[in-house]
Structure 1
């Protein structure tokens, strides 16, 4: 199989530092100490692919430097490098040029590493062809259904898929997103491998969450623990029940009737946490996808999660649309620790058992 492999090296950089995306915010992310996320995700995907098929089991065509060739060589591949980015700071135009070169070389699949913006760029570049695409999730917001659940799942799909189907590519305006507005826009419909390891597209809506919010807020008021309250409308209702507006798409930290950090970065969350065993992170899965960690909340890093108990909350109607929960924290060992059956709070006191896959 001939695979075109391209990386958006800046995808996801803004997440850990609370910027909710990287579009137009690369320098701001760097000033806040952001580290690239995409190269490690790319390395995990190619390492898993190498372990499955060997370095001779696939012909890897890629783009120069941080857009693919560096990682490919690091993990043992000898890729065909078809070109290089026009400048040190890569752009959507570089992605389009790479994909055009892959198509001209007759690849069987375009494997890309990035977020929804990268997915839209790749989908637009393959429009009018039958060449399938597959995403390795590395962005902050990953709403499109063209992504594998994890980097390792992407390698499995590359190795095993036999058929393709049309799937949605969604993107949102990051400036609106930072202001708390989530309006996914259909950017393209692309051909994607048929596989169980692909995520669903983001679904909006959720049902009645008042009972959940009231019950959790009562418990928080009665506790001396530090609560890390994740993004989303369900946890947002808890924040409102506690008497503060919070950041709808950010992470807030609360203890003893006081907001310790609003729209917090990873470092601010870690600084606000109490002693071990005295912290709780409250999150709600994304409707339609089921992700608890790894989509839209990268501030909740492995370092944060490991210092907290986890409470998952959701309305009954949301869980009815989700077959199972998912995690993708950038730490495979932590993902393995989180997997299994867990209780999800669905009312003032009611809970439902759900499996984290």
Structure 2
């Protein structure tokens, strides 16, 4: 039997939908809960385990929402190795659980969280034991996570069935959350973890920095401005490409947040998911968004303010996607990825989307 350790950071990604741009630390966690954020990491782990298509597996978990409940909800039984000392849980609980699961002799630890959780796993285990991350955080720069929760289950199935799955060292990176909230991205390298490396399942390390010349961004911005529809809300996503549009319009921009605009005027800055729903109401709107360089994620990485409830109202064709051709070429033919946390919505969003790459210049690109 393949021995799989399952570990969940229950509060990973908690701050995303309420515009806190992270979930590290008790203060941010408590503020996110106060704003009405709902823990989604246990659900995402359930999605991953439900995609495992084999019975030749034994689950070892940590108690409650740190793993036990996710396995149970996916229809499997598990051996509960221990439980957190206190609720809400903290990084110390993750460290303790990871070490305890490793002592059980598991073949691999499947964990759900973000970059902070990956740091905890590295601190606890180093690169001694294979691990695989289920993406559940706000900011995911590390290369140890699968593209989606379902991809994790599919990859685990291949491992258990004995298919040749290459293993490699992948980078653990995390950013300074306070600087992130101030609009600065400072990603730091912490080490490497051993992960299954089938690239149709596992995401790349996020590319940072400016990728294109200012003239190309100006062309994209000019094209967008020409196509603005009256009395229509525009949800302006994060990233430098969208920031260039806002700059050319003379509007303040939350580089790593989500703003709302209508008729050339800023309506609200750094909005949470709930604020967007309330401000837009039943009015027409579009979401202006750019994929993450090197990874290709459109939804589910750093923009959880774009909640499933919001995206369901517009679908794939309501996304106004902007990107330079060089950013698309960096993907080496891989499709753009949506990982909203709602698997049914993700399936509905599959297809082909128009990506605006310059002034009156666009390409069609696959989304999966």
TM-score of the superposition, structure 1-length normalised?
A: 0.95
Secondary structure at 1:346's aligned position in 2? strand
Give the one of 193, 197, 221 matched to 2:196.
193
Distance in 2, matches of 1:197 and 1:46, equals: 15
Q: Which residue of 2 aligns with 1:318?
A: 327
Instruction: State the 4+ residue runs in structure 1 displaced beyond 4 angstroms.
Output: none
Task: Please say if 1:13 is aligned against 2:22.
Answer: no
Query: What is the CA deviation profile of residues 162-195 of structure 1, one whole-angstrom value per residue up to 9, with x for unaligned ones?
Result: 3311111111111111111111111111110021
Distance in 2, matches of 1:274 and 1:64, equals: 40
Matched residue count = 350
Distance in 2, matches of 1:200 and 1:42, equals: 20
Q: Which residue of 1 aligns with 2:75?
A: 76
- Could you tell me whether the CA contact under 8 Å between 2:59 and 2:77 is conserved in 1? yes
Q: Which residue of 1 aligns with 2:296?
A: 290
Give the one of 236, 247, 257 matched to 1:250.
257
| Shift, 1:218, TM fit | 3.1
Query: What is the CA deviation profile of residues 7-35 of structure 1, one whole-angstrom value per residue up to 9, with x for unaligned ones?
Result: 00000111111111111301110111111
Q: Which residue of 1 aligns with 2:178?
A: 175
- Superposed, 1:1-357 pairs within 5 Å as 1-24=2-25, 25-49=28-52, 52-54=53-55, 57-129=56-128, 131-161=129-159, 162-195=165-198, 196-204=200-208, 205-208=210-213, 209-220=217-228, 223-273=230-280, 275=282, 278-308=284-314, 309-322=318-331, 323=333, 324-357=335-368
| Shift, 1:44, TM fit | 0.8
Distance in 2, matches of 1:157 and 1:35, equals: 28
Query: What is the CA deviation profile of residues 219-270 of structure 1, one whole-angstrom value per residue up to 9, with x for unaligned ones?
Result: 22x5331101001111011111111121111100100122111100111111
Structure 1: segments with no counterpart, 5+ residues: none
Distance in 2, matches of 1:190 and 1:128, equals: 5
- Could you tell me whether the CA contact under 8 Å between 1:124 and 1:188 is conserved in 2? no
Distance in 2, matches of 1:101 and 1:274, equals: 48
Query: What is the CA deviation profile of residues 35-87 of structure 1, one whole-angstrom value per residue up to 9, with x for unaligned ones?
Result: 111111011112222xx013xx2111111121111222233322111111121
- Could you tell me whether the CA contact under 8 Å between 2:42 and 2:69 is conserved in 1? no
TM-score of the superposition, structure 2-length normalised?
A: 0.92
Secondary structure at 2:328's aligned position in 1? helix
Secondary structure at 2:326's aligned position in 1? helix
